[in-house]
Amino acid sequence: MTNAETVTITKAEYLELLEMKNTVSVLKRELAELKRLIYGAKSERFIPVDPKQGVLFDIPAEEPVESEKVEITYTRKKKEEKKQALRLELPAHLPRVEEIIEPENLPHDAKKIGETITEILEFEEATIYVRRIIRPKFIVSSDDEQTQIVVAELPSLPIPKGNAGPGLLAYILISKFVDHLPFYRLAQIFKRQDVIIAESTMGGWFNASCKLLELLYELLKQKILSGEYIQADETPIPVQTKDKPGSTHKGYHWVYHDPVNRLVLFDYQKTRSREGPDELLANYKGYLQTDGYTAYNNLRNGANIQQLACMAHARRKFEHALDNDKERAQKALTLIQQLYAIERKAKEDELNFDQIKQLRQIESEPILMELETWLKSEVHQVLPKSAIGSAISYTLTLWPRLKRYTENGSFQIDNNLIENSIRPVALGRKNYLFAGSHDAAQQAAVIYSLLATCKMNGIEPSAWLKNTLSKIADHPVNKLEQLLPIR
């Protein structure tokens, strides 16, 4: 047995060791994140451990003993036959096309006593047709023996002197921005019906449609900025530019959502810098809910804006820290889960804003106080650059914004609603890959804004777009709000 050796190090060496330990912790966290992205489950669901529940297979090891061989017999019940699958219940609102089939060689004196009805769901592929507008010309004589030719006015068309109707334009826009089909795939679909429409032609129709809808987009922007509470987030969009031949520029859609009035606005910007929200929110006065991205801090109009943060982002940090410090991460996740249970209860009970505020003050605020106290007590007990240290620091830094949602029943606990609005852009990136120019990216923002607002209001986008494109050219400017997809 040897005596323990005492090693004395300088303060500089101690700090260097501490820095190395922090670096190792950061590298472990980055490796865990990389493995999570490649192999891990994408779900963020957290199931807390029940202390009353025993652990399966938690059996102390015993010395293996050779057991006697015993012959076992048993009776197996015959497997029951599978029940017949239930038929799909067909929606009542769908039109019915009746087809009557009578027996062959039916005697003339046969009497009908009833009928057997079988309903089958069918599909008829969308058909392109030519709308041929015929306007007869008439010669009309007047009392002064003068004649004039009279012909009815041509109905308003979305594209003047164009040959694309509102139904076809709506189909093309919905196919690209809802169903995520690039123009070249649409061209192939049309070709199967012996209709040749070039991609460049569809691009021209897209540009013309966006110009028609720009006034609605500007009106939507005004309505969102006149509200008192909006959520904001951003998502990248590759853009093809002349400056980067053979590659793409990384632009951004900045997305703003009014959850009270169910409005969504996409604003394209060339960068992710602060200039985007600075410009759009220059005259805004109210509450802004965001994640922890620093671009939303120190806005020029910051004096008129009170910020809220997103609890889902804080929860995500602790969920990622489970492998680093399971005990602490579970403690935070359990408390956050209780907050979400209260929000779910408010939704299920269909409470109004005043009732939600009262419920949060009674049930949520004590949990928030407990969580804040725990965070402050643990922040100095963990390595700052570890996953759990990063989660605690992130949450404490944003804490005043995170708990502000309890001040008003209309506020959301997180930004999940706006993240749902961004998903079509992510799906679009995988299909049509990039926008053809900065102008095209902004035009896409116009369409995304209107269609996302349709979704938030439960409005069928195809029918709304066809109706709007058929009316907007002649619609009075002072009554444009009638065309917005809001209820």
CB 304 within 8 A of CB 280: no
Q: Which whole-number Å values give the CA distances from 343 to 48, 328, 351, in the listed order?
A: 18, 24, 10
pLDDT of residue 65: 53
Tell me which residue of 149, 109, 34 sits closest to 26, measured CA to CA.
Answer: 34
pLDDT of residue 418: 84
pLDDT at 351 over 90: yes
pLDDT of residue 60: 52
Q: Which has more pLDDT, 2 or 450?
A: 450
CB 391 within 8 A of CB 320: yes
pLDDT at 178 over 80: yes
pLDDT band at 386 (very low <50, low <70, confident <90, very high): confident
Q: Which whole-number Å values give the CA distances from 207 to 237, 248, 347, in the listed order?
A: 18, 21, 41
CB 388 within 8 A of CB 321: yes
Sequence-distant (6+) residues with CB within 8 A of 275 are 269
Instruction: Let me know how many helices (H) and strands (E) the chain has, helices first.
Output: 14, 7
pLDDT of residue 181: 87
Strand partners, 263: 258
Q: Where are the domains of the chain?
A: 155-271+427-487, 272-422
**Taking the alpha carbons of 107, 108, 114, 118 in that order, is the dihedral positive or negative?**
positive
- Segment 438-451 shows an average pLDDT of 90
pLDDT of residue 368: 95
pLDDT of residue 110: 87
pLDDT of residue 64: 52
- What letter does residue 477 receive in the DSSP assignment? G
Range of weakest confidence among 294-303, 382-391, 426-435:
426-435
Q: Which has more pLDDT, 426 or 176?
A: 176
pLDDT band at 335 (very low <50, low <70, confident <90, very high): very high
CB 244 within 8 A of CB 261: no
For 345, the token pair is 């209860």
- Segment 237-263 shows an average pLDDT of 85
pLDDT of residue 306: 94
For 153, the token pair is 């006015």
- Segment 281-306 shows an average pLDDT of 90
The 3-state DSSP class for residue 443 equals helix
pLDDT of residue 285: 94
For 386, the token pair is 């570890």
52-104 tens-digit pLDDT: 555 554 545 455 555 566 676 666 666 666 666 566 678 888 888 888 888 88
pLDDT of residue 68: 63
Range of weakest confidence among 85-94, 215-224, 258-267:
85-94
pLDDT of residue 432: 64
| Distance, CA of 368 to CA of 406 (rounded, Å) | 10
Query: What pTM value is reported for the model?
Result: 0.77
